[in-house]
Structure 1
Amino acid sequence: MQTNSRLSGTISVPGDKSISHRSIILGALSNGTTKITNFLRSADCISTMGVFRNLGVQIDDTPAEITVHGVGIKGLQAPKVDLDMGNSGTSTRLISGVLAGQPFVSRVMGDASLSKRPMKRIITPLSEMGSEIDAVENHLPMTIHGTQLHGIQYEMPVASAQVKSAIILAALQADGDTTIIEPVKSRDHTENMLERFSPDSIEKHDHQIVIHPHHELAGQAVHVPGDISSAAFFLVAAAIVPGSEVTIQNVGINPTRTGILNVLKRAGASITETNRTTGVEASADLAVKATELKPFTVTGHEIPGLVDEVPLLALLAARANGVSKITGAEELRFKESDRISVIVTEFKKLGIAIEELPDGFIIDGSKPWHLNDAKLNSHKDHRIAMTLKIASLLVDQPVTIKDFDSIKISYPTFNDDLAKLRS
């Protein structure tokens, strides 16, 4: 382990990425202004802002807040340029739901990484609703021929907050009600925020969501809590680096996002929650102390609540005293990188005893690490980059991480926050 790798102190992480995206989208579709504080100014969220500006929405960006001058569901303008989603799968899938019901044609594009990610999962339900979408082998670039949509009943084949949200945003423009049935409850930020912007538009019943169109959205004041997916890097770091004690303030604790906390506790981590508050989403301060960790199992039913944190859970398992198993995470193969394959490849460079499964990993944390290769590779995946940086705290030799600047996608100030805890 590196000298002085112990982490100590208090930090606040940037605003939640999922909520930041949705605040721009729902604000743009509202009547009146939406004021957003603690907005995440990451590359992905800036892509969402840029797209809506190209759709005729005025968005003012000052250090204190973002102000979205909503144009209403029917007020978007036909874009004069291709809509560039950058690297953002969230922007692509959610905004496609909006575009499907607009009276114009849009061409959606993204960077090389995003262009490899599957879009059939949204093309299928949006096509059932009446939209015509042209894509080469179900990948970007994608041309969306907006039209009058029809309400449908859609039973989702897999739990996906992005797909669900695309359908919800399309359903707001349909000619009748839409019912969405989830096999497992996924992130519900869109539903929670829609209840604030337009309470008459949505009903929720267990695993079923009903969208009632023809109700206007009204602009809101949105304070974005800290992103638990960003906080997770320091939660896990504090749990695995001996002698660490870290507090992270104002972390969003939406129950559909707190799977990471459940697993940490199951592994024996010491976590204390204080200063709980409520708003658009609940938040709290989370304090973690390093402890002896025990092995754990994660299966498919938990994955929707912690899908972004699986690389970190693999790292947690690599420090637990025994064999841990993570399964049901095949969705990770379709993220910014094939995160299952990449984690196995890079962890083996660190001498971690890890075995690749089709849908996850088996990791023996009881075995010591032996650095085999100091040249690590993020594969241009922001979550891999930050996971490897946390792992490097437990290596007694310097390592390099190729394309580490990919962290700008979700957490531009990650290095600064890590430095605060190491000083």
Structure 2
Amino acid sequence: MEKVKIYPAKLAGTVQVPSSKSMGHREIICAGLAGGTSIVDNISMSQDIEATMRVLRAMNVSVDEIPSMIEGRKALQITGTGHPIAAADNVDCGESGSTLRFFIPLGANLGCPLTFIGHGKLVSRPLQAYYDILDKQFVQYFNDNGNLPLTVNGHLMPGKFELPGDVSSQFVSGLLFALPLLKGDSEIIITSPLESASYVDMTLNCLAKYGVKIENVDGAHRHYLVPGKQRFKAQDSKVEGDWSQAAFWTVGGALGAGITASGVDFASLQGDKAVVEIMQRMGADIAQNADSVTVNSSTTQATVIDAS
């Protein structure tokens, strides 16, 4: 077994932040639902992203890797028909909860049986919020005592969709991807305060980029109006950097000898971007540039952090 010896040192230098996996899922799905060809660049490939690519291919979407404009990253050329159809009878979501929950509403609208399978802890991840909706929609589904494999078979009907806010925001995002494609208008009602609202904001932002209009009625993430008969518009896009990854390096720079994290977007809606404001309150020496943040060695002070 090879050994590695680690010597005490202060962190310093420049890092290219990996792209956001959360936004990568959303960009790839929106591109796959569009009619035409899109190129999504700056993808940090992972098993979860590969799972989303597999499910899109099972819905008759062409997904091909092409050279990226960014060293060490991947780009995808994605061609869709504008409306998913079944090209397989089962899809493997790996261990990706985002993939599974984002695609169940789309799978439930294909009009033919589609079986979702998974591995590891994904097999038993809670899906009751969707089961309640499918019951009200009279969409057939079969599962193993609430666990995967899950088979769905039917067509979603436009109307009112209710979800509790204390479940994963992935359920809300899954509906937001599917409902614009229905033949009539729909509403999503959140029956209790929504946790992880920033992730729903990320979904709404990505949908808007691909030409889909959704109204957050009260601005409080409790009521969404989703017009039907919409079409996703193909386009070229670049996945933004991951603020949760950048957070580690910014803190490392303050504790060390200075670090620049490049590839971030200060217009991002990612909740973890709050690390910059928190560190500013703590007195960290921070410099913001167009697509990077530099944090120099700092003497920090105590503060109160709202982790929500």
Same fold, TM-score > 0.5, yes or no: yes
**C-alpha RMSD of the superposition:** 2.3
Match of 1:186 among 178, 195, 198: 198
Question: Which residue of structure 1 lines up, in the alignment, with residue 86 of structure 2?
Answer: 77
1:66 aligned onto 2:76 = yes
What's the offset of the Cα at 1:124? Answer: 3.0
Can you list the C-alpha shifts for 1:104-147, whole angstroms capped at 9, x where unaligned?
11111111122232222333345444433333343322112232
- CA distance in structure 2 between the aligned counterparts of 1:129 and 1:270, rounded to whole angstroms: 54
Q: SS state of the match for residue 186, structure 1?
A: helix
Query: Offset at 1:44?
Result: 0.7
Q: Identify if the C-alpha distance between structure 1 residues 122 and 286 changes in structure 2 by more than 3 Å, giving closer, same or farther.
A: farther
1:55 aligns with 2:50: no
Identity %: 27
- Equivalent in the alignment of 2:174: 166
Which residue number corresponds to residue 232 of structure 1?
247
**2:286 aligned to 257, 264, 271, which one?**
271
Does the CA-based 8 Å contact 2:249-2:259 persist in structure 1? yes
CA deviation map 1:367-390 (0-9, x unaligned)? xxxxxxxxxxxxxxxxxxxxxxxx
CA contact (8 A) 1:117 1:139 kept: yes
**CA, structure 1 residues 34+292, in 2 after alignment: closer, same or farther (shift >3 Å)?**
same
* Counterparts of 1:212 and 1:167, CA distance in 2: 12
Structure 2 length-normalised TM: 0.83
Contact 1:78 1:104 in 2 (8 A): no
Aligned to 1:259: 274
Distance 1:139 1:214 in 2: 32
| Residue deviations 1:319-374 (CA, integer Å, cap 9, x gap) | xxxxxxxxxxxxxxxxxxxxxxxxxxxxxxxxxxxxxxxxxxxxxxxxxxxxxxxx
Query: Could you tell me whether the CA contact under 8 Å between 1:135 and 1:142 is conserved in 2?
Result: yes
Tell which has more relative contact order, 1 or 2 (C-alpha 8 A, sep 6+).
2
In structure 1, list runs of 5 or more residues that go unmatched.
276-283, 304-423
User: 1:110/1:264 Cα in 2 relative to 1: closer, same or farther (>3 Å)?
Assistant: farther
- Say whether the 8 Å CA contact 2:180–2:231 is kept in structure 1: no
Q: 1:96 and 1:138 mapped to 2: Cα distance?
A: 14
Aligned equivalent of 2:123: 115
Give, in angstroms, the shift of residue 90 of structure 1. Answer: 0.7
The equivalent residue for 1:285 is 292
* Structure 2 unmatched ranges of 5 or more: 1-5, 69-74
Within the candidate set 4, 7, 14, 1:3 is matched to 7
Whichever residue aligns with residue 269 of structure 2, its letter is P
1:171–1:106 Cα change, 3 Å:
same
**1:79–1:11 distance in 2 versus 1, CA, 3 Å:** same
Q: Output the CA distance in 2 between the equivalents of 1:141 and 1:297.
A: 44
Q: Matched residues in 2 for 1:247 and 1:20: separation?
A: 23
Distance 2:250 2:145 in 1: 39
1:103 and 2:111 are equivalent in the alignment: yes
